Amino acid sequence: MKQSLTHKILSAHLVSHPSLPTPGEEIGLRIDQTLTQDATGTMAYLQFESMGLDAIKTKVSVSYVDHNMLQTGFENADDHQYLQSVAAKYGLFFSRPGNGICHQVHRERFGVPGDTLLGSDSHTPTCGGLGMIAMGAGGLDIAMALAGQPFYTPMPKVIGVKLTGKLQDWVTGKDVILEMLRRLTVKGGTGRIVEYYGEGAHNLPIADRFTICNMGAELGATTSLFPSDETTLAFLKSQQREASWLDVKADEGCGYDEHVEINLSELEPLIAQPHMPDNVVKVREVAGTPIAQACVGSCTNSSYHDLGISAYILKDKVVNPNVSFTLTPGSKQVFEMIARDKDMTLAMLIRSGARILESACGPCIGMGQAPPSGSVSVRSFNRNFEGRSGTADAKVYLASPETCAASALMGVITDPRDLGIPFASIQDPKEFFVVDDMVIPPVSDKANVKLIRGPNIKPLPHFGALPENLSGKVLLKMGDNITTDHIMPAGAKVLPLRSNIPAISEFTLVRVDPDFPKRCKEWGGGMVIGGENYGQGSSREHAALAPRYLGVTAVIVKSFARIHLANLINFGILPATFVNVADYDTIEQGDELVIENARTQIANHPETITLTNTTKGTNYQITSPLTERQRQLILAGGTLAYAKQEADKIVA
Ligand code: MIC
Ligand code: SF4
């Protein structure tokens, strides 16, 4: 039978079934590679450590440091040292701070067509641009993969996106993914893998493919991928990695569960307006809006092309006096390339007054460069959730580097076609400067490695099994599309506390209600209510771990985002959805909720569970989307508690 590329790679890694089951059923996949970044990595490795293994079991695993780079206190630096020592002890590659953003470096130096990659960061799908199945997950799932365990996820549907035509001048991969977001919305990819194919796909430069796969995360997709072709080979050659190339592609005429077609020739520059990546319009519709900041960078758009085109637009000119323009090279390799190339890209950028930042996530995650109050910032990034920039009332727009640089020059949102300058095609060089001396390979003498654990690294909290009856008040009722940035904010103040759960839990849901942590303590925990697509956005497991620490026992919503749902289960919080969505309207904060015989009910996997609102005197029916495996995890109190329970059985 003719197969999609997705099905080929999934089949080759399937360990749970003899063949691929129908969409929705849980599958277990063998994981070839893992990546972590520092903000999720510390917790992932603390969890791996608690499993008591001597070494990792994956083919290649890389620990990156790119998020917590503002060292305003000892915390981040402590975490970096811990991560370096863990890598040495267990056999991982360690990408030192300064080497670049995980997704940019991974595609340059490690990604392999046809392989699976699991990363504790939601933008791990970036490497789908090379033709791999690259998925984001919580840190605990990475720890399990490092221990050689399969990764479990619902069998996705496959959306086949046929790309025809060719992008016009000044139109980029960013505009392709913004068009996808405009059509499908931030929920449209949930439970799906997006596979691009067709002449148009082959015409796309590799940097555009990475941008499109990266921002597939904003569609809520499990991952996105392109076939591996001559462009992929040329890229791997330019990285001196042609030996890693594999010709992987879909069979001609294979079927897809769903279809989308985009004619690249018809696209024009697009922009996502505040505060959601799917709030997309043509740049010309908002052109003329005054801006205070423009930023080119992040794992979405910080390639050689992206900096090169910015330099071209700003060549021999200076950034508008009302604008602060930041530029981030995605990796040390990109940085070195722009410093050495014949166009004098770096010199042009310095000349223009651009504020050049170190190769890290930086402003994308609110690590510095917060825009002025109430102002507009145009960014080449992937997320524009309210408050994420570090300024609560800033209005963040998302657009291509071309649009960002044009806007920086003019001081107002500008379609790059309206600059009136000739188009320049910035090509990837045939050879990149390949020097891996900022990546420390696994050491052979592991016996003498000591783990370095500074005072910021607190022990993992332990959680008990699910009680027979679950009861508690509604701590908070929320609307649709609540992001993990609402549940557990990031930014310079909160991120340094990622390895300190008691401290970070004080920030849980404060963006929605500043009194939430206090109320959790006063009311002795309870349950939370949410709308559609609850927990969209990042992979941060702290958005489950911290609520669990505060005593949240159940999260009852209209629908969940994939990674957050998995994280709730990993930490023993009961996830449930309303059978009748209208019931959502009748529940209020402070209502007393009870699930009688929750343990027995869940163990017997009923179709629905009865939830009683004793304040209102009503019964609701809810369902918990649990597989048999997940049921065991919830009953035990989470994945680590389950692993311990099973290990104790063997000892006994
Ligand atoms: C993000 O873009 O929100 C992050 C920060 O990269 C997160 C990971 C984290 O919270 O550490 C993600 O996307 O998974
Ligand atoms: Fe870093 Fe931003 Fe990419 Fe997240 S989205 S990995 S914070 S650059």
- From 99, 361, 381, 398, the mutation candidate for ligand 2 (largest count of ligand atoms within 8 A of CB) is 361
- Alpha carbon distance 298, 291 (integer Å): 19
275 tagged catalytic = no
Task: Return the residue whose CA atom lies nearest to atom 7 of ligand 2.
Answer: 365
- Amino acid 644: pLDDT: 83
pLDDT for 200 beyond 90: yes
Q: 95-122: string of b/e by CB count within 10 Å (b at 16+)?
A: bbbebbbbbbbbbbbbbbbbbbbbbbbb
pLDDT for 137 beyond 90: yes
pLDDT, averaged across the chain? 97
pLDDT for 92 beyond 70: yes
Task: Return the residue whose CA atom lies nearest to atom 1 of ligand 2.
Answer: 361
540 tagged catalytic = yes
What's the pLDDT band for 648 if we cut at 50, 70, 90? confident
Q: Say how many Å lie between the CA of residue 483 and the centre of ligand 2.
A: 15
CATH fold of 470-651 reads: Aconitase; domain 4 (3.20.19)
- Alpha carbon distance 413, 274 (integer Å): 14
Cα–Cα nearest to 118, from 143, 106, 136, 138: 136
Q: Count Cα atoms within 13 angstroms, Cβ side, for 556.
A: 35
Q: Say how many Å lie between the CA of residue 537 and the centre of ligand 1.
A: 8
- Amino acid 596: pLDDT: 96
Task: Return the residue whose CA atom lies nearest to atom 10 of ligand 1.
Answer: 540
Could you say which ligand is closest to the alpha carbon of residue 361? 2
Catalytically annotated residue among 79, 115, 121, 428: 121
Q: Output the six-digit token pair for 87.
A: 């890598």
- Amino acid 570: pLDDT: 97
- Amino acid 444: pLDDT: 84
Task: Return the residue whose CA atom lies nearest to atom 1 of ligand 1.
Answer: 538
pLDDT for 647 beyond 80: no
Cα 229 from chain centre? 26
Q: Which atom of ligand 1 is nearest to the CA of 67?
A: 5
Cα–Cα nearest to 590, from 517, 523, 513: 523
Q: Say how many Å lie between the CA of residue 62 and the centre of ligand 1.
A: 17
- Ligand 2 neighbours, Cβ below 6 Å, are 67, 101, 121, 123, 298-299, 361, 364-365, 382
Q: Output the six-digit token pair for 96.
A: 């030192």
pLDDT tens digits for 563-595? 999 999 999 999 999 999 999 999 999 999 999
| Average pLDDT value for residue range 176-186 | 98
Catalytically annotated residue among 310, 389, 400, 538: 538
- Alpha carbon distance 171, 203 (integer Å): 13
Q: What percent of the chain has pLDDT over 70?
A: 100
Q: Output the six-digit token pair for 192.
A: 């799906």
- Alpha carbon distance 300, 256 (integer Å): 27
Q: Say how many Å lie between the CA of residue 449 and the centre of ligand 2.
A: 31
- From 365, 495, 538, the mutation candidate for ligand 2 (largest count of ligand atoms within 8 A of CB) is 365
- Alpha carbon distance 121, 141 (integer Å): 11
Q: At what angle do helices 304-314 and 206-214 cross, to 10 degrees?
A: 110
pLDDT for 115 beyond 80: yes
Residues 536, 569, 82, 390: what is their CA dihedral angle, to the nearest 10 degrees? 20
| Average pLDDT value for residue range 70-84 | 96
| Average pLDDT value for residue range 381-397 | 97
| Average pLDDT value for residue range 114-127 | 98
Q: Say how many Å lie between the CA of residue 66 and the centre of ligand 2.
A: 9
Q: Output the six-digit token pair for 323.
A: 């604008």
The angle formed by the CA atoms of residues 457, 458 and 459, to the nearest 5 degrees, is 125
Contact (Cβ atoms closer than 8 angstroms) between residue 563 and residue 122? yes
Task: Return the residue whose CA atom lies nearest to atom 12 of ligand 1.
Answer: 538
Q: Say how many Å lie between the CA of residue 40 and the centre of ligand 1.
A: 8
Distances (CA, A) of 85 to 92, 118, 444: 10, 21, 13
Please work out whether the CB of residue 546 comes within 6 Å of at least one atom of ligand 1. no
Contact (Cβ atoms closer than 8 angstroms) between residue 580 and residue 563? no
Task: Return the residue whose CA atom lies nearest to atom 3 of ligand 1.
Answer: 538
pLDDT tens digits for 336-360? 999 999 999 999 999 999 999 999 9
- From 123, 300, 367, 488, the mutation candidate for ligand 2 (largest count of ligand atoms within 8 A of CB) is 123
Could you say which ligand is closest to the alpha carbon of residue 126? 2
Please work out whether the CB of residue 135 comes within 6 Å of at least one atom of ligand 1. no
583 tagged catalytic = no
- Amino acid 633: pLDDT: 97
247 tagged catalytic = no
| Average pLDDT value for residue range 611-627 | 96
Contact (Cβ atoms closer than 8 angstroms) between residue 377 and residue 295? yes
Q: Say how many Å lie between the CA of residue 643 and the centre of ligand 1.
A: 26
Which amino acid is residue 609, in one-letter code?
Answer: I
pLDDT for 433 beyond 90: yes
Catalytically annotated residue among 66, 115, 175, 208: 66
DSSP secondary structure, 546-582, as one string: HHHHTTEEEEEES-B-HHHHHHHHHTTPEEEEESSTT
Q: Say how many Å lie between the CA of residue 432 and the centre of ligand 2.
A: 23
Task: Return the residue whose CA atom lies nearest to atom 5 of ligand 1.
Answer: 365
Q: Which atom of ligand 1 is nearest to the CA of 364?
A: 2
Domain residue limits, the chain: 5-14+27-266, 270-417, 470-651
Cα–Cα nearest to 478, from 413, 431, 416, 531: 531
Are 270-417 and 470-651 in the same CATH fold?
Answer: no
SS (H, E, C) 128-180: HHHCCEEEECCHHHHHHHHCCCCEEEECCEEEEEEEECCCCCCCCHHHHHHHH
Catalytically annotated residue among 7, 13, 30, 67: 67
- Amino acid 651: pLDDT: 62
pLDDT tens digits for 224-238? 999 999 999 999 999
Could you say which ligand is closest to the alpha carbon of residue 537? 1
- Alpha carbon distance 456, 459 (integer Å): 10
For the domain bounded by 5-14+27-266, which CATH number is listed?
A: 3.30.499.10
Q: Output the six-digit token pair for 440.
A: 């420390």
182 tagged catalytic = no
Higher pLDDT, 645 or 43: 43
For the domain bounded by 270-417, which CATH number is listed?
A: 3.30.499.10
383 tagged catalytic = yes
pLDDT for 650 beyond 80: no
Cβ neighbors of 4 (< 8 A, separation 6 or more) are: 158, 160, 195, 250, 251, 254, 255, 256
